[in-house]
């Protein structure tokens, strides 16, 4: 399909931002016209080039897959094909690993650290230079609102490269008294929710510490990784230092099981993380696993309610709820539950669900048909479990995979919608009376990735925070990321940390 076809298909789907939700004040005599009526403001994709097909990026060039297999990448907002992506078999993966090994031995591991850093700085700057193109591509390929791709995903991806570029020649300061040796070839497998950002989390620390990589993006969101490959090529990065192979789970498995891989860095579901852990048991491969979550967002009676409502909205509806650390379980202290729920529903009604390329859009398209069906099944399950459902009333686009922001109340701790990761715009709400009850409920899932605490008491933040089984605890905010901060989980949310100084450890041997 040509780029102009894609553009026209995107334009025809820019429908929902004009739909006006009913004002919660409609039954009052005074209507302050509390809702703005937004004209649509679509970002143009005219100058964004998505090629009709992409090969694998191996040894500095794009090459066709050995067995010639391809699959389509779909725009989830229009259900139209964007491009054809190559499917890597074990032969393609083998080529990529060999290219990465040669680059490691002959060039990258022996390059002075300061020179390594220069390449990474250049990559960071080129991400900034191409940020508009990358942001629009990310929204078209993955369904996320352009405001988020433009203001969060792409700037943060550049920031991670800048941050780790700075570490390249300072590893002696990172690990005083120790020598940090690179590992070799790293196999990296990432999910579809933050395609370019997850790539940055993986590739930037690996390169900074002198390793070479073979990375596989998720099947539904490969395009920005392939555009990143173009950046690597255009930056003059030595051939074979970064290799990108595309494909589905079998390609990932081929990377995991390849003998030439020294370290696996995986971000994805807990179920696949367990398969990977079993596959590499008994080998000397190092690994980090960043897995799923079911974050609790705890609001105390002394919190600023309006601020908390904004935080709750951001915690669960950011990126359609496709966020491992989403605050998908709301725990509210009983005395304010009624007031907070009312305000939350009113705020939910103002959310614009629609065309990801429209700058007014708050919630874009669900990433794929499969994920849309999975979320829909969980919504049906919630009803079957006896929970009370509230969904916003605004119109949805006719085509594409769109889901209304959804709130379930009247749930119990053992309900599956409280225990299992839905990975969509679906929030459950429970109440608590005492801080210890809040902690007990928050910790009562198999996961331990993130949590949030809303209160005006600093001491309460420290008391509750130190009792949470979660790798990240946000206080009076949520979903804030910074390259200098480590990120990772406890329990079934994974092993190891990414980001910050901690994110260097998994890529080195300390001697
Ligand atoms: P999956 O586990 O299904 O997939 C993750 C990646 O692994 C994809 O590239 C996938 O390929 C690949 N893969 C699938 N099967 C295998 C296998 N057997 N061996 C090796 N690789 C395989 O997760 P999703 O893509 O559905 O992502 C959502 C999950 O990721 C959620 O659970 C979320 O919580 C988690 N996540 C965790 C984060 C964290 O930092 N803790 C951050 C972001 C997401 P393909 O998709 O092409 O089939």
Residue with the smallest CA separation from ligand 1 atom 22 is: 249
Looking from the CA of residue 324, the nearest atom of ligand 1 is 34
Whether the Cβ atoms of residue 357 and residue 139 lie closer than 8 Å to each other: yes
Measured in angstroms, how far is the CA atom of residue 216 from the centroid of ligand 1?
11
Does 370 fall in a domain?
yes
pLDDT at 394: 85
Whether the Cβ atoms of residue 322 and residue 193 lie closer than 8 Å to each other: yes
Residues 182 and 278 grouped into a single domain:
yes
Residues 213 and 177 grouped into a single domain:
yes
Residue indicated by tokens 């290219």: 99
Does 272 fall in a domain?
yes
pLDDT at 157: 98
Looking from the CA of residue 290, the nearest atom of ligand 1 is 41
Whether the Cβ atoms of residue 488 and residue 497 lie closer than 8 Å to each other: yes
Does 2 fall in a domain?
no
pLDDT at 26: 59
Q: Which residues form the domain of 103?
A: 81-291+490-510
pLDDT at 290: 97
Measured in angstroms, how far is the CA atom of residue 197 from the centroid of ligand 1?
14
DSSP, res 185: E
Measured in angstroms, how far is the CA atom of residue 76 from the centroid of ligand 1?
18
pLDDT at 5: 38
Measured in angstroms, how far is the CA atom of residue 292 from the centroid of ligand 1?
9
Ramachandran bin of 203, using left for φ above 0, alpha for ψ from -120 to 50, beta for the remaining angles: alpha
Q: Would the CB of 219 count as within 6 Å of ligand 1?
A: yes
Residue indicated by tokens 């309006």: 306
Residue 397 is part of a domain; what is its CATH number? 3.40.309.10
Q: Would the CB of 367 count as within 6 Å of ligand 1?
A: no
Does 74 fall in a domain?
no
pLDDT at 28: 56
Does 480 fall in a domain?
no
Does 94 fall in a domain?
yes
Residues 329 and 342 grouped into a single domain:
yes
| Alpha-carbon gap, residue 254 to 256, rounded angstroms | 6
pLDDT at 440: 98
Q: Would the CB of 328 count as within 6 Å of ligand 1?
A: no
Which of 455, 453, 409, 451 minimizes the C-alpha distance to 428? 409
Q: Which tokens hold the place of 328?
A: 């998908």
**The pTM is what?**
0.92
pLDDT at 39: 87
Looking from the CA of residue 194, the nearest atom of ligand 1 is 43
Whether the Cβ atoms of residue 404 and residue 396 lie closer than 8 Å to each other: yes
| Alpha-carbon gap, residue 349 to 387, rounded angstroms | 20
Residues 386 and 402 grouped into a single domain:
yes
DSSP, res 162: H
Residues 174 and 229 grouped into a single domain:
yes
The side-by-side arrangement of strands in the sheet containing 329-333 is 388-391, 406-409, 426-432, 329-333, 296-299, 450-454, 472-475
Residues 239 and 353 grouped into a single domain:
no
Whether the Cβ atoms of residue 423 and residue 269 lie closer than 8 Å to each other: no
Tens of each residue's pLDDT in the chain, 511 residues: 333 333 333 333 333 444 555 665 556 555 555 566 788 999 999 999 999 999 999 999 999 999 999 999 999 999 999 999 999 999 999 999 999 999 999 999 999 999 999 999 999 999 999 999 999 999 999 999 999 999 999 999 999 999 999 999 999 999 999 999 999 999 999 999 999 999 999 999 999 999 999 999 999 999 999 999 999 999 999 999 999 999 999 999 999 999 999 999 999 999 999 999 999 999 999 999 999 999 999 999 999 999 999 999 999 999 999 999 999 999 999 999 999 999 999 999 999 999 999 999 999 999 999 999 999 999 999 999 999 999 999 889 999 999 999 999 999 999 999 999 999 999 999 999 999 999 999 999 999 999 999 999 999 999 999 999 999 999 999 999 999 999 999 999 999 999 999 999 999 999 9
Q: Would the CB of 253 count as within 6 Å of ligand 1?
A: yes
Q: Which tokens hold the place of 26?
A: 């409609």
Could you tell me the sign of the dihedral formed by the alpha carbons of 154, 160, 163, 164, in that order?
negative
Residue 177 is part of a domain; what is its CATH number? 3.40.605.10
pLDDT at 12: 35
Alpha helix ranges (H) inside 44-193? 90-103, 113-129, 131-142, 146-148, 154-167, 171-174
Whether the Cβ atoms of residue 390 and residue 383 lie closer than 8 Å to each other: no
Q: What is the 3-state secondary structure (H, E, C) of 128-143?
A: HHCHHHHHHHHHHHHC
Ramachandran bin of 330, using left for φ above 0, alpha for ψ from -120 to 50, beta for the remaining angles: beta
Measured in angstroms, how far is the CA atom of residue 187 from the centroid of ligand 1?
14
Does 419 fall in a domain?
yes
Residues 113 and 235 grouped into a single domain:
yes
Looking from the CA of residue 219, the nearest atom of ligand 1 is 47
Measured in angstroms, how far is the CA atom of residue 252 from the centroid of ligand 1?
9
| Alpha-carbon gap, residue 237 to 450, rounded angstroms | 36
Pocket test for ligand 1, best of 265, 269, 285, 326 (most atoms within 8 A of CB): 269
Residues 362 and 426 grouped into a single domain:
yes
Whether the Cβ atoms of residue 354 and residue 16 lie closer than 8 Å to each other: yes
Does 91 fall in a domain?
yes
* Residue ranges with strand state E in 233-326: 242-244, 263-267, 286-290, 296-299
Residues 26 and 91 grouped into a single domain:
no
pLDDT at 2: 37
Q: Would the CB of 272 count as within 6 Å of ligand 1?
A: yes
Q: Would the CB of 191 count as within 6 Å of ligand 1?
A: yes
Measured in angstroms, how far is the CA atom of residue 190 from the centroid of ligand 1?
6
Start-to-end CA distance of the chain, whole Å, equals 53
Residues 272 and 361 grouped into a single domain:
no
Whether the Cβ atoms of residue 488 and residue 496 lie closer than 8 Å to each other: yes
Number of domains in the chain: 2
Q: Would the CB of 248 count as within 6 Å of ligand 1?
A: yes
User: Cα-Cα-Cα-Cα dihedral of 362, 368, 371, 373, to 10°?
Assistant: 100
Q: Would the CB of 83 count as within 6 Å of ligand 1?
A: no
Residues 301 and 286 grouped into a single domain:
no
Q: How far is CA 272 from CA 266, 269, 405, 437, in A?
A: 9, 5, 28, 32
pLDDT at 24: 59
In the chain, what are the helix, strand and coil shares in percent, each to the nearest 5? Answer: 40, 20, 40
Residues 286 and 314 grouped into a single domain:
no
Catalytic residues: 290, 324
Q: How far is CA 82 from CA 18, 76, 142, 190, 260, in A?
A: 26, 10, 11, 20, 33
Which of 296, 272, 325 minimizes the C-alpha distance to 485? 325
Looking from the CA of residue 248, the nearest atom of ligand 1 is 47
Residues near 272 by beta carbon (within 8 Å), at least 6 away in sequence: 249, 252, 266
């Amino acid at each position: 399909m040509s780029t102009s076809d894609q553009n026209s298909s995107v334009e025809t789907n820019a429908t929902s931002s004009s739909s006006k939700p009913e004002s919660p004040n409609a039954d009052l005599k005074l209507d302050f016209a509390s809702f703005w009526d937004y004209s649509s403001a679509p970002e143009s994709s005219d100058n964004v080039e998505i090629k009709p097909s992409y090969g694998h990026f191996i040894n500095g060039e794009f090459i066709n897959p050995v067995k010639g297999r391809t699959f389509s990448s779909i725009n989830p907002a229009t259900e139209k094909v964007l491009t054809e992506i190559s499917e890597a078999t074990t032969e393609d993966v083998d080529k990529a690993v060999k290219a990465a090994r040669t680059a490691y031995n002959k060039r990258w591991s022996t390059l002075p650290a300061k020179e390594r850093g220069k390449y990474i700085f250049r990559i960071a700057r080129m991400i900034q230079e191409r940020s508009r193109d990358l942001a629009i591509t990310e929204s078209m390929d993955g369904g996320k609102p352009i405001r988020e791709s433009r203001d969060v995903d792409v700037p943060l991806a550049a920031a991670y490269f800048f941050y780790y570029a700075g570490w390249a020649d300072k590893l002696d300061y990172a690990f005083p008294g120790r020598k940090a040796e690179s590992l070799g070839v790293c196999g990296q497998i990432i999910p579809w929710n933050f395609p370019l950002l997850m790539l940055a989390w993986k590739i930037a620390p690996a390169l900074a510490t002198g390793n070479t990589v073979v990375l596989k993006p998720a099947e539904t969101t490969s395009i920005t990784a392939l555009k990143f490959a173009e950046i690597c090529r255009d930056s003059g990065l030595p051939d074979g230092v970064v290799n990108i192979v595309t494909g589905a789970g079998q390609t990932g498995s081929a990377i995991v099981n390849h003998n030439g891989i020294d370290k696996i860095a995986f971000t994805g579901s807990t179920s696949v993380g367990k398969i990977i852990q079993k596959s590499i048991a008994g080998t000397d491969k190092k690994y980090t696993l960043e897995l799923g979550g079911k974050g609790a967002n705890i609001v105390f009676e002394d919190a600023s309610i309006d601020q908390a409502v904004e935080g709750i909205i951001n915690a669960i509806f950011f990126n359609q709820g496709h966020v491992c650390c989403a605050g998908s379980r709301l725990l509210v202290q009983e005395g304010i539950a009624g007031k907070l729920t009312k305000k939350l529903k009113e705020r939910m009604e103002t959310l614009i669900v629609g065309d990801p390329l429209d700058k007014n859009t708050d919630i874009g398209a669900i990433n794929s048909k499969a994920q849309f069906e999975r979320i829909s099944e969980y919504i049906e399950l919630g009803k079957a479990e006896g929970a009370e459902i509230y969904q916003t009333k605004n119109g949805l686009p006719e085509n594409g995979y769109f889901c209304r922001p959804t709130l379930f109340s009247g749930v119990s701790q053992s309900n599956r919608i409280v225990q299992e990761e839905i990975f969509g715009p679906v929030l459950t709400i429970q109440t608590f009376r005492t801080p210890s009850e809040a902690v007990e409920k928050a910790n009562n899932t198999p996961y331990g990735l993130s949590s949030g605490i809303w209160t005006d008491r600093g001491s309460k933040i420290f008391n509750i925070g130190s009792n949470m089984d979660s790798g990240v605890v946000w206080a009076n905010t949520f979903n804030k990321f910074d390259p200098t901060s480590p990120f990772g989980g406890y329990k079934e949310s994974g092993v190891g940390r990414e980001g910050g100084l901690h994110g260097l450890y998994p890529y080195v041997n300390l001697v």
